[in-house]
Homo-oligomer: A and B are copies of this chain.
Amino acid sequence: MDTEIQSLNDATLHYLDAIYRLSQDGQPATTNTIAGKLGVTPSGASIMLKRLADRKLVQLTPYKGATLTPQGVRIALRTIRRHRLLEVFLIQVMGFQWHEVDKHAHALETVIDQEFEDRIAEITGNPTRCPHGHVIPTRDGVLPRVPDVKLVSCPVGASGVIRCIDTDNAEWLEYFGQLGLMPDARVTLKSIAPYGGAVTISTPHDSITLGFELAEVILIEPDKPADAWVSPAGRPHARHARTRRAGFRHKGS
């Protein structure tokens, strides 16, 4: 009610956007990663973080990192909604390719207003996901939960439907596009070489091998819920990798 998005400028919105995405894993966003994502020096980011904290948009613990306040989250989700709606629009209406839209959406997301956002949403048919599969926050600022899991955290043999290619790297996206690895594609995980090695996937047409780093950004909705997966020893896998550092533990119990 107090701080409204119209009164904030590009820089602020981009910071909030970045912080939101970097802290989605539960960990606060660090000064360094924020600076990296925004292309400024850590000093610059540090100064700006303090300013945002003064404005009660972020919760800052010096030397530890930043999280958004509820205010900050609201604004970040608004910007993220605009970004993702724009991406849909840019592909659907303007004929851009999916690896081109992020940069344009980034430039536009901070200058469009509510009227424009609403118009885009209407024209594109109120989509719930962006072209890469990220969930679009609703108009009233809710980010719906989805059952997406990392392909590489599924057991070998698992199959499902790609829901999201979770990267903003245009080159990677172009490559994924060429391979047909995009939302709605069916995939089966064939093998993962140990210690971050190559990942082999099959689609109805192909067998594809990717580096681990690349494969890691593929999110799927598995045919069987994660709960049903059973490890060789007969124990169910942990549902989320969130609370622990890695998705897999290679040592028993």
Contact = CB atoms under 8 A, between A and B. Distances in A.
A104 interface: yes
Interface string A90-122: 000111100010001001100111011001100
In the complex, which range does the number of interface residues on chain A fall in?
A: 10 to 19
A113 B96 CA distance: 14
Interface in A41-66: none
A238 interface: no
A112 B112 CA distance: 12
Copies assembled: 2
A114 to B, nearest CB: 12
A93 B93 contact: yes
A123 interface: yes
A123 B107 contact: no
Interface in A214-251: none
B104 A116 contact: yes
B94 A119 contact: yes
Contacts of A96: 119
Contact of A111 (B94, B111, B113, B120): B111
Contacts of A119: 94-96
Nearest to A116: B104
Contact of A108 (B93, B108, B123): B108
A93 B116 CA distance: 13
A45 to B, nearest CB: 21
A104 B123 CA distance: 17
Contacts of A111: 107-108, 111
A107 B94 CA distance: 19
Contacts of A115: 100
A63 to B, nearest CB: 34
Interface string A60-88: 00000000000000000000000000000
Interface of A: 93-96, 100, 104, 107-108, 111-113, 115-116, 119-120, 123
5 contacts: A93-B93, A95-B123, A104-B112, A107-B112, A108-B112
Given A94-B120, A108-B108, A108-B112, 11 more contacts: A93-B93, A94-B119, A94-B123, A95-B119, A96-B119, A100-B115, A104-B112, A104-B113, A107-B111, A107-B112, A107-B113
